[in-house]
Every structure is written in structure tokens, then in C-alpha cells.
Chain A
Amino acid sequence: MRNFKGFVEALDLSHPSKLEITTHDKWVTVHPANLVIVAALAIQAGKENTKIIGEVPETGRYLDRMGLYDLTKTSSPFVYHKKEEAGRFVPIKIIKTSRDQSHFITDVIPLLHLSEKNAIVVKYIIGELVRNVLEHSFAKNGAIVAAQYYKKTNRVSIGICDTGIGIWKSMNAYWHPKTDIDAITLALTPGITGTTRKEGGTAENAGAGLFFIKSIAKITRNYFVIYSGKAEYTLLKYKKRIKGMPRLYADPVRDPHSSTNSMPSFQGTVVAVDISLDETPEFNDLLSSIGTVYDKAIRERKQEKYKKPKFI
């Protein structure tokens, strides 16, 4: 995930109808988030206009296992039996409806072979993020999802991407953010939804989803990245040497983070989350901490609207 920014900066998005994919000639190591961006661009360009060029090293087999070659007109140079695929990953999947989503949660996440406790966290994150895409992105190609379990670090990495309207447009109806990064900041703020300005949200939306997921990443001391339009926000890893549960803030700007508003303009949204399973507390404790900050944020925002006495 540390390389995400470099990867995005290297994207040339000037010709969306044609996609050429290159890799390092010695090694290929790729976060699911990078993979889903490439997959989303490939789907947008069409298989006949997408190819993998240059020399792909042996480790590029991973791209085949994750299903990237299937989205291009380039034949995979890698030969192996499908049975060898037994690994703990979710290859690139396209989710277009809530039924697809339920099927994915029920039948595909088990491919990661997680304990029930950890599976709940992953189901929660994917459930909320995919739903955001289906409901708010207006992406005709749906949500593109991939995930990988890394045994060495006992971590699950998740990437979700769409080529829909992007966060700025989604927030603009009610909040009028000036820039893409302002839109991302709003979307990460608890209680702010793109569907209303009313506190408490609408019958269907509360404006909690992304805040909950960023908070889960923070509590489990890992990265969370969101990229949409020209903006990218990265929640930095909370240092392991700092004891106790990381403190949560309603304002995403108060979290240790990096952000920029000068990335190549991506028409859509990407979210990347890493979850360290060693650092995951009981889920209800985690939810309780997040809920407390959420309430406080709403209370404080309401108090800001209170009439103030006039002193002269």
C-alpha cells in the first residue's frame, strides 16, 4: 500500500478507450487496490482495446491468478493447473447488483479461509464499500473487488473500485465541495451523506459507512486509502510502539494522513483497506469505540448551529 501513490502518479489516463499495461521486468507485486484500478480501466476500455505489453516476469503469474489476463486481449504466458490456485485470495470480481453482493459475501469471502471473527470484519468492510458503489456511484460497470490474505504479516488487503460519478459529484448535490479533496473529507466525516443535509440522514443513509471503515483501519493500525477525481487521502499507519487503542477523530484531517489534490484525474472512486488480523480487537468493542465518536460528532455539529447570545 505504501506504493499506491507512486502507482497512481504513473497512470496515464489521457486515452480511456485504450489501455496498455506494463510491469517491472524483474518482479510483480501488486496490492488488490492497484489491481482493481487496472481491471476497472480495462473493463472501461474493452477487452479488445486492452493489452499487457513488455516482458512480464515469472511473478506476473499472480496477475493471471487474479484474473487480469481475462480482461485483456493478451494471452497469458503462464501455464499451470487451476488446482494449484489454492491460495487465500479473492480474484477480480465484478458486482453489479445487491444480489451479486450477497452472493459475494456468502460464497466468495470464504476463499480467504479466515476465522469467523476475522471474516465478520472483512464481510463488514466489503459489504459497506460495495453497497456505496451500487447506491451512489452510478457506475454502469458496477463494483470491481479483489482481496488478498498475506500469511507473513497476517493481513488482509482489500481493493474496491468503480468508474462512476466520483465522490465530488456524489457530494455536490447537498454539500457543494470546492475540490475533490474537500469532497473526500466530507465523505469521511461521520453523519455527512451525499443524500441530505439533515442530521440523522435519510431512511436509507446515515453517512457513517466510510467513517466506520476508516476507523476500523485505524484501530487495527493499518492503511486506508481513498482516491477519486484528482484527490487522494491516505490514513497513515498508527505506530505499533504507541500503546492502547488508537484515538478516533470525527474530522479526518486530525488523523495522521497524507492528502493531495493533484493526482491524475480518475473518473470514479477507489478504496483500499489493509486489516492486520493480529491487531483486530473484539468487533463489538471496535464498533462501540466508533459509535461513541460518531455520536459526539453529531452532538458537536448540532451545538455549532445553536443560536449564540449577542454581547455588546
Chain B
Amino acid sequence: MKKSIKMLKITGNFAENKDIAKKLRIEQIMPALSKGNEVILDFNGISGATQSFIHALISDPIRKLRSVAFSHLVYKNANEDIREIISIVYRYMQESLDGNDDSQTTLKHRKSSKHI
């Protein structure tokens, strides 16, 4: 199953409200990923986002669900700035998790964000 979330309706043109990010993460993203569903975050119409917004949105799924998050979280219509921020969060989360007990990612196998 696929769950598509149109971000513009929820965040407005510039995604900075972390309360909204947290709500989306807890109420929609984590439950869908936990069921094995693909989650498509559609950034159509969004001009920018802050790093702290993206962190609040996706860092916990990466930390808790690892490979499920890497394979099932997909980003649609993200502009170059938003892609860069998502990529930064992916990199530093994997960097932070590397070497922890259950981490399976290494420098060679670093996962990139999936965009469509």
C-alpha cells in the first residue's frame, strides 16, 4: 500500500513549523511505515523548508525503523533546496547511527533519500 501526503495543504508554502512536522510523523508517517506501507511525501508547491522541520519529520523513522524508512520513505516534487536538506538529514542520521549496536549502515552502504 502507498500513503501519499500532500505537504502544501498541511505546512503552507514554507515548511518551518516543527509542531506540524511532529504531528505528521507521529500520526501518519510512523504508523504507515510500521505497517510496511510506502509513504510518499509530496512537496509540490513548497518553496523551502528548514533543517529542523525536516529533522522533526524524518529523523525518528530513520533512527527507529532504519531499513524500512530508507526503502519506504519517498520524496516527491521536492525542489533542489529541500532535496539538499533531506540529504543532509539522511547523512548525519546515518553518521550518528553508524557504530551503534544495531546499525547496519557503513560508509560504503550509506543510503540516499528516494525522490520521484
Do A and B make up one complex? Answer: yes
> Which A positions have Cβ atoms within 8 angstroms of B?
98-99, 101-102, 105-106, 116, 120, 123-124, 127-128, 131, 135, 191, 198-201, 203-206, 208-209, 212, 282-284, 287-288, 290-291, 294-295, 298-299, 302
- Kindly state the separation between the CA atoms of A302 and B83 in the bound complex, as whole angstroms: 26
Count chain B residues whose beta carbon lies closer than 8 angstroms to a beta carbon of A: 37
- Kindly state the separation between the CA atoms of A101 and B16 in the bound complex, as whole angstroms: 9
B47 A116 Cβ-Cβ under 8 A: yes
Closest to B79 in A: A284
Stretch at the interface among B35-43, B69-77, B86-94: B86-94
Decide yes or no: A135 and B84 within 8 Å by CB, A120-B47, A298-B95 being known contacts.
no
Q: Is the interface of A mostly helix, strand, loop or mixed?
A: helix
B94 to chain A, nearest CB (A): 9
B47 A131 Cβ-Cβ under 8 A: no
Chain B residues positioned under 8 Å from A294 (CB to CB): 88, 92
A105 B16 Cβ-Cβ under 8 A: yes
A236 to chain B, nearest CB (A): 25
Decide yes or no: A131 and B16 within 8 Å by CB, A200-B92, A284-B80, A294-B88 being known contacts.
yes
Chain B residues positioned under 8 Å from A127 (CB to CB): 14, 16, 50, 53
B104 within 8 Å of A (CB atoms) = no
5 A-B pairs (CB sep. < 8 Å)? A106-B14, A124-B48, A131-B16, A200-B95, A206-B92
A203 B63 Cβ-Cβ under 8 A: yes
Chain B residues positioned under 8 Å from A198 (CB to CB): 96
The listed residue (A102, A128, A302) touching B52 by CB distance below 8 A is: A128
B99 A302 Cβ-Cβ under 8 A: yes
